[in-house]
Structure 1
């Protein structure tokens, strides 16, 4: 087996790889490269999910599904203007101020182009109402997608030849996506959910001694659009429990700190999570000295809760990586990915708690 990519380097690679909703293939390829040497079977299902099966030591035990999502918050072309500018809308809950104005990648069918997400000049008046109304000392209206556009420097005909049209995905440019390291912390856009994917790979590496039950490690599609991939996988794969790996807001509202241990969720907007599983995760974390945190999330759902909410998973659990500024420029403690992998690997090495 080739030398494994160090987890920080893998995280940086994943962050720089485009994976908008419905076009996650490039990210899936990176995760597949890392999981194939560790899994007994690796496939891609009809929903585009990567499915890596690790056989358990007790083949009679009910299988477990563990999901981290491939997709990122991104944009989609709504229309191509005659002058070659693009009007875009969001894929997932995101606003222009969270992305930040600057370079973007336009993923045309035949060519990937560079554009710039723009508002326009601050040196304008009410003659430029779209700009004026976002100024705090003037219109004082929050910037929304109707205010911004993508400048491409190309003609409408050039864009058509590149395969750019309504429905084309637009992502924050790779130049703005690398991992920033500072002190005990790391920062980047799209740690949601690249950090969880890295933890999923770390879990597989720690499970070389085998999980207790057959375990399906899932890298799922279109979580930001409603948990679509995980819901399909929960319906089609054996087992009753889906465990999601995702970021979680490190905010005083939830008494969650960014430098604390992994967060075990007991509820979110979609469901109440399975209490025996959540309790078992907390117990394992305490035994390992990981200082697990607990939370009841609001304005939040996950692959697992969305699958359970529509009746495709009988049981659901969520382990969150405590993160500052979720759906913005996100910040993690540098030890969070490793702590999360250790918690999950130890949990999967034990029998599943009964209902």
Structure 2
């Protein structure tokens, strides 16, 4: 793997194509493990389903670096007599975040193809479920009770595939192709958090081939982040070290003064915690040294594995480094330079977490 502007794309596309709903991240974990094992000293899967790879370093304090494997998805709430499915969200989003279209229904015995549907726009008030969502009529925001999944199968066929309440439903692979957007941008669903996972894997490879980290680094690919940071909190509580550093997408909106064309976003706080100032300051310094024009941010409606861990007392110190991302939790867009920039900042931080560590000559 290389950290140049284009070398990561094959890996990112592979990660995007794998289904990873909360609690069912197996395929993503297997792919991450394939990339991680050759560049770390040991890998294992913990009781929460997190993939962990430790890269041994110097005598500095251990650091946990986290990127989550799970993606926004849906749960089957009910199988109807006509074989259609009612849904509820698994994570924070609405049908409009995904749009109507092809979905994969991850049955216990078989994966089915379905269509997330609302119904015909060519309807009147006699079809109130559709009518109320029309901008020129009811003007009600589209929500999960308004949509359903058409399977084209009978209820018995659906159940024979192992589809029941609780079955995960994901955006179909046909809608997960990484696209070039304009001059120097990439678009796809689920860059949250496959883009950050790519950066973590690139970082591990670079540290292995370079000077190595100041202390032991635990690369943690976490489960269930989208429903409360459950895997990350468990790992923060059970792995060595005081610091948890989360890698995430970061919102690019005027209220935060952030831009998708800017450098890495370094969070000083979010909805769950105040991040440790020394961590954020050091990340800013390293990004500045690379000429990345980092973007400091105080984030509102945002959470991470690190902030969940710190707010619950599972870790003593926390940091958050983000890829500037347009339309988070929707069809997301990042700059082609965002993943290499995150990788470079992360490598610099892990090689020298504090300004006062020993010089290159001394090492």
TM-score above 0.5: yes
Q: Distance in 2 between matches of 1:185 and 1:313?
A: 35
Map residues 1-355 of structure 1 onto 2, 5 A cutoff. 6-58=7-59, 61-182=60-181, 183-208=183-208, 209=210, 210-352=212-354
CA shift digits 1:313-341 (9 cap, x unpaired)? 10000001000000110000000000000
| TM-align CA RMSD | 1.4
SS of the equivalent of 1:114 reads: strand
Over 3 Å off, 4+ runs: 351-354
Q: Give the aligned length.
A: 350
SS of the equivalent of 1:146 reads: helix
Q: Distance in 2 between matches of 1:62 and 1:333?
A: 33
Q: Distance in 2 between matches of 1:258 and 1:70?
A: 23
Q: Distance in 1 between matches of 2:292 and 2:139?
A: 45
Give ranges in structure 2 of 5+ residues lacking alignment.
357-363
SS of the equivalent of 1:15 reads: helix
Structure 1 contact 104–117 (Cα < 8 Å) conserved? yes
How far the C-alpha of 1:172 sits from its partner, in A, is 0.4
Q: Distance in 2 between matches of 1:353 and 1:19?
A: 38
Range with bigger deviation, 100-109 or 284-293: 284-293
Q: Distance in 2 between matches of 1:120 and 1:222?
A: 32
Structure 1 contact 185–332 (Cα < 8 Å) conserved? yes
Structure 1 contact 213–351 (Cα < 8 Å) conserved? no
Q: Distance in 1 between matches of 2:339 and 2:32?
A: 15
How far the C-alpha of 1:57 sits from its partner, in A, is 2.1
SS of the equivalent of 1:214 reads: strand
Q: Distance in 2 between matches of 1:81 and 1:188?
A: 32
CA shift digits 1:270-319 (9 cap, x unpaired)? 00000011111111111121211110001101000001110001000000
Q: Distance in 2 between matches of 1:353 and 1:76?
A: 47
SS of the equivalent of 1:348 reads: helix
SS of the equivalent of 2:240 reads: coil
SS of the equivalent of 1:219 reads: strand
Structure 1 contact 84–153 (Cα < 8 Å) conserved? yes
Structure 2 contact 214–352 (Cα < 8 Å) conserved? yes
Q: TM-score with structure 2 length normalisation?
A: 0.94
Structure 1 contact 276–353 (Cα < 8 Å) conserved? no
CA shift digits 1:242-278 (9 cap, x unpaired)? 0000001111111111111111100000000000111
Q: Distance in 2 between matches of 1:329 and 1:160?
A: 31
How far the C-alpha of 1:6 sits from its partner, in A, is 3.6
How far the C-alpha of 1:140 sits from its partner, in A, is 0.4
Q: TM-score with structure 1 length normalisation?
A: 0.97
CA shift digits 1:81-117 (9 cap, x unpaired)? 0110000011000100111100000000000000000
How far the C-alpha of 1:353 sits from its partner, in A, is 6.8
Q: Distance in 2 between matches of 1:50 and 1:281?
A: 25
